[in-house]
Amino acid sequence: MNGTNDHATRHPLLRRIDSIALFELSSEERAALETLPMQVARIEAAQDIVREGDRPSRSFTLLSGIASTYKTTQSGKRQVMSYHVPGDVPDLQSLHLQTLDISIAAISPCRVGFVQHEAMRTLFRAHPRLGELFWRVTLIDAAFVREWMLNTGRRNAYARMAHLFCELVTRLGAVGLAPELSCDWPMTQPELADALGITPVHVSRTIRDLKAAGLVSLRSRRLTVHDWEGLVTAAEFDPTYLHVRR
Amino acid sequence: MNGTNDHATRHPLLRRIDSIALFELSSEERAALETLPMQVARIEAAQDIVREGDRPSRSFTLLSGIASTYKTTQSGKRQVMSYHVPGDVPDLQSLHLQTLDISIAAISPCRVGFVQHEAMRTLFRAHPRLGELFWRVTLIDAAFVREWMLNTGRRNAYARMAHLFCELVTRLGAVGLAPELSCDWPMTQPELADALGITPVHVSRTIRDLKAAGLVSLRSRRLTVHDWEGLVTAAEFDPTYLHVRR
DNA sequence: CGAGCAATTGACCGGCGTCAATGGGCGTGG
DNA sequence: CCACGCCCATTGACGCCGGTCAATTGCTCG
């Protein structure tokens, strides 16, 4: 859609928007987006960026690093709903839901760009198509969660793990962060356990099995897929729900 | 907000909108909503209303009955994502996502009201606050799924079942369909199994246990809660995520 | 009244949880 | 630069929640 694929130099908010837009943005729309005031911050690994119960007056886009959305039960059990890659706007929902029902944590050290809700509302009133586009972003994020739920409800640990690998390699690939089917993998096994709805012990066993099957390798925080077709088959992975244009 | 509580006589689309709006709708906005052209249809029990892969040019609101959103794996396993009560707009997402990633089925016989996407887009351009309100609806629906995912990922069958009872009694109560903590319950046990991520056999065992604990009774398609506090405790139920005003 | 599915219950099984012990990587501080 | 501590990772033994299989009963509806 935009001639080059220079994810690094493009404006952060355009990374994802460009990849999901169904029409060509006008130069006015593009300019309006690019001049949104954005406050950049760094978040250390394992720190919460926002917390359940917060009432934010701004949302953020992830500039670099990997983050996770999670909820906890009253008894302290934790479930990761989805992971976020650069370009995502993980708490965009707070634009229209005052109280956050989820927490978002930095998995690796992250850079984030905060944008005031008021600025976004003003932008969307002036450019309705942009508002619809960001609405679309929240709908796609919701589709990720639904697919993830099908995963945890109806597939075993082996297929779930394979599916998570497929999804993240695809999404990181879409923003240029998984060349050669290989990417940084900052999640620890206890964190993966919270995403998959199993225990850390069983995560270890499952990864052992995926390695033994020759599908992936995972060492020193780096994931490499050796057999993409095999992984896709094990996961029953169908990327349609990601709404990524090829 | 609107003096009376007459769910039956109010315009269908206002049922839910009124219950989640954070501001008083102007009479112009109300009138514009009420004159949206709506095509009413009846759907038999166990029929799909829309299917995964469809590219609808309209969305629908549920006028009466109970429906479910579900997805299936390639190997045919089925996972229910959420149930819908009268007033909901279950496939509103199709307004901005062309291809449906989910199917929606009528559990009991349903009446539904179809509204063309073009009519909604026109309405939202003329009344931006209404557009934001419907955006809010999709965000709340997404929050239901997230809570449901915490459920399937991190609670056992007993707590999951209790949580589903709590959620639906609360949501049906909000539209006047669960007086005295009692409501129609058209879902069969095989259907509940697909919602809870367990087998029909285990649904039967779990309901037996909930009855034995004196929390509910469930006979001839009717649910009655006998011990609300006990059910809430068993489920760790916190209705905040429902965004229903008290 | 019969067909077909829902519901129930028992017997048995297996995937994943729990508990525990060991080794490894990394940051901090002496 | 090494020692220590802490958490991640791995593996084995064993237990339990929920799955599987099968038989029986009960509804509901043509």
Does B150 lie at the interface with A, CB-CB under 8 angstroms?
A: yes
Nearest to B128 by CA among A242, A107, A123, A240: A123
By three-state DSSP, how is residue B233 classified? helix
pLDDT (tens digit per residue) in B208-219:
999 999 999 998
CB pairs under 8 A between A and B: 122
Tell me, what's the pLDDT at B1? Answer: 42
Phi then psi dihedrals of residue B130, to 5 deg: -70, -40
Distance (Å) from CA A188 to C1' D9? 9
Residue where the block lists tokens 């839910």 = B16
Answer whether any strand C atom is within 7 A of the Cβ of B189. yes
Chain A residues whose beta carbon lies within 8 Å of the beta carbon of residue B99: 240
Pairing of strands B48-50, B103-106: antiparallel
Task: Please check the confidence at residue A119 and state whether its pLDDT lies above 90.
Answer: yes
Q: Which residues does chain A have within 8 Å of residue B96's beta carbon, measured at their own beta carbons?
A: 132, 135-136, 139
List the one residue out of B135, B36, B34, B145 whose CA is nearest residue B92: B135
pLDDT bin (cut points 50, 70, 90) of residue A3 is very low
List the beta bridge partners of residue A106: A67
Are A154 and B78 within 8 A, CB to CB? yes
A236 touches chain B (CB under 8 A): yes
Is the CB of A9 inside 8 Å of chain B's CB atoms?
Answer: no
Query: Do the beta carbons of residue B27 and residue B11 sit within 8 Å?
Result: no
Residues of chain A found within 8 Å of residue B101, distances taken between Cβ atoms: 143, 146-147, 240-241
Q: What is the pLDDT of residue B191?
A: 96
What are the start-end ranges of the H helices in chain B? 12-20, 27-34, 117-126, 128-154, 157-174, 189-196, 200-212, 228-235
* Distances in whole angstroms, Cα of residue A105 to Cα of each of A68, A82, B239: 5, 11, 24
Confidence of residue A97 (pLDDT cuts 50, 70, 90): very high
Positions in chain C where some atom is under 7 Å from a protein CB: 5-11, 15-20, 25-26
pLDDT at A11: 82
Does pLDDT of B103 surpass 70?
yes
Residue A24 DSSP code: P
Contact yes or no for B80/B194 (Cβ under 8 A): yes
CA A234, distance to chain mean position in Å, is 22
Q: How far is the CA of B12 from the C1' of D2 (A)?
A: 74
Best CA proximity match to B178, nearest among B189, B190, B166, B188: B166
Q: Which helix (H) or strand (E) holds A196?
A: helix A189-196
pLDDT beyond 60 at A104: yes
pTM over 0.85: yes
d(CA A181, CA A174): 11
Cα–Cα distance for residue pair A233/B144, rounded to 1 Å: 30
**Is the CA virtual torsion B96, A151, A164, A45 positive or negative?**
positive
The pLDDT score that the predictor gives to residue A7 is 57
Q: In whole angstroms, give the CA distance from residue B146 to residue B167.
A: 13
CA B224 – CA B205 distance, rounded (Å):
18
Of A78, A143, A152, the CB nearest to B149: A152
> DSSP of B101-126, one letter per residue?
SSEEEESS-EEEEEEEHHHHHHHHHH
CB B114 within 8 A of CB B60: yes
Using a CB-CB cut-off of 8 Å, the residues of chain A touching B130 are: none
In tens, the pLDDT along A43-91 reads 999 999 999 999 999 999 999 999 999 999 998 899 999 999 999 999 9
Q: Cβ of B101 and A147 within 8 Å?
A: yes
Contact B186, B107 (CB under 8 A): yes
Distance A203 CA to D22 C1' (A): 34
Strand C close to B205 by CB, under 7 A: yes
Q: Check if A221 contacts B (Cβ < 8 Å).
A: no
- pLDDT at position A245 is 67
Which pLDDT score is estimated for A246?
A: 55
- CA-based nearest residue in chain A for residue B79: A150
B37 has a pLDDT exceeding 80: yes
* Ordered domains of chain A (ranges, CATH): 12-149 (2.60.120.10), 156-242 (1.10.10.10)
- % of chain B surpassing 90 pLDDT: 86
Tell me if chain A has a CB within 8 Å of the CB of B3. no
Q: Is the CB of residue A200 inside 7 Å of nucleic acid strand D?
A: yes
Average pLDDT, chain B: 93
- Is the C-alpha dihedral spanning A87, A91, A97, A102 positive or negative? positive
Cβ-based neighbour number of residue A43 at 10 Å? 20
Q: Is B173 exposed, middle or buried (0-12, 13-18, 19+ CB in 10 A)?
A: middle
Cα(B210)–Cα(B189) distance, rounded to whole angstroms? 14
Cα–Cα distance between B141 and B146 in angstroms, integer? 9
Compute the average pLDDT of residues A107-123. Answer: 96
pLDDT reported for residue A2:
43
On the question of pLDDT at B7 being above 60, the answer is: no
pLDDT in tens, A157-204: 999 999 999 999 999 998 899 999 999 999 999 999 999 999 999 999
| Minimal C-alpha gap between B72 and chain A (Å) | 7
A243 contacts in chain B (CB < 8 Å)? 97
Torsion angle of the four alpha carbons B5, B9, B11, B14, in this order, in degrees rounded to the nearest 10: 10
Place B235 in a pLDDT band, splitting at 50, 70 and 90: very high
Whether A201 sits with its Cβ under 7 A from any strand D atom: the answer reads yes
Rounded Cα distance, B34 and B196, in Å: 37
Tell me, what's the pLDDT at B144?
97
pLDDT tens by residue, B154-180:
999 999 999 999 999 999 998 889 999
Angle, helices A157-174 vs A228-235, to 10°: value is 130
